[in-house]
Amino acid sequence: MSDSLRESQESPDEGDIHEMHDPIAREFERPEDGYQPIPLTLIFLFFALVGWGGWYLGAYSGDWRVDVFYPGDRATAAAEAQKESSGGTSPEELATLGKRVYAQCAACHQQNGKGVAGNFPPLDGTEWVTGPPQTLIRILLHGLEGPIQVAGNEYNAQMPAWGGQLSDRQIAAVLTYIRSAWSNQAGPVKPAQVESLRKESADRSASWTASELKSLESGQ
């Protein structure tokens, strides 16, 4: 018990026994420490945990490099480089890749390919998609503007050009995907087809219009 505190505190109100006893009745001068030992099992468990931590830290430190991002990152770099040079072009592989690329289209055309009535045309069940692949490739390379009839409804909006964003393989992939997704059952598109049309229209910068595309189609 402190001496200095006792000296410094104001003298208690002698007359009010109730008030003086109140703080005593209310509480003990706790808390105090007990001194039970730490169970050995617990100490053992904690050492095991620290051991695991050390192992994990060593195994997944990525050599403390700034360019290693996930477990196994560096070890697979060489394998990745090889895979990159030989991306598959079979219809199945293209459709798988195309499904990923399609995420970029789903903002307007929606995941189910039905579009948004009045704003964004559907891709499901329309001849624009299941018809000649050249038309589709052209739309993707350079975009489309002006009025267009899709599945019996008229739309009038700007479809952006994707030729600058997507590679030949990615365009072929996403087209292969939408031509076979939902109720569509048209054949695959090959990267080579995209490549040749890209060359053919290399100096074009304007978007296509629906009527231009129709006349190109009938001329083919």
By CB under 8 A, the residues from 25 to 84 that bind other proteins are 25-38, 42, 46, 49-50, 52-53, 56-57, 60-62, 64-73, 76-77, 79-81, 83-84
b/e string for 64-97 if b means 16 or more Cβ within 10 A?
eeeebeeeeeeeeeeeeeeeeeeeebebeebbeb
Amino acid type, 2: S
With respect to other proteins, which residue has the nearer C-beta, 134 or 148? Answer: 148
100 binding other proteins? (CB under 8 A): yes
In angstroms, the CA 106 to CA 94 distance is 18
CA-to-CA separations, 24 to 1, 3, 16, 27, 205, in angstroms, rounded? 15, 19, 14, 6, 90
> How many residues at the interface with other proteins, by CB under 8 A?
80
Residue 105 and residue 113: Cα distance in Å, rounded?
9
Q: Which of 1, 40, 78, 202 binds other proteins (CB under 8 A)?
A: 1
Nearer of residues 81 and 218 to other proteins, judged by Cβ: 81
Determine, following the binding rule CB under 8 A, whether residue 4 of this chain makes contact with other proteins. yes
| Residue 134 vs 177, nearer CB to other proteins | 177
- Shortest spacing between CB 66 and other proteins, in angstroms: 4
Which 111-170 positions form the footprint of other proteins (CB under 8 A)?
A: 111-112, 116, 118-120, 157-158, 160, 165, 170
Q: Which two tokens stand for residue 28?
A: 């003990």
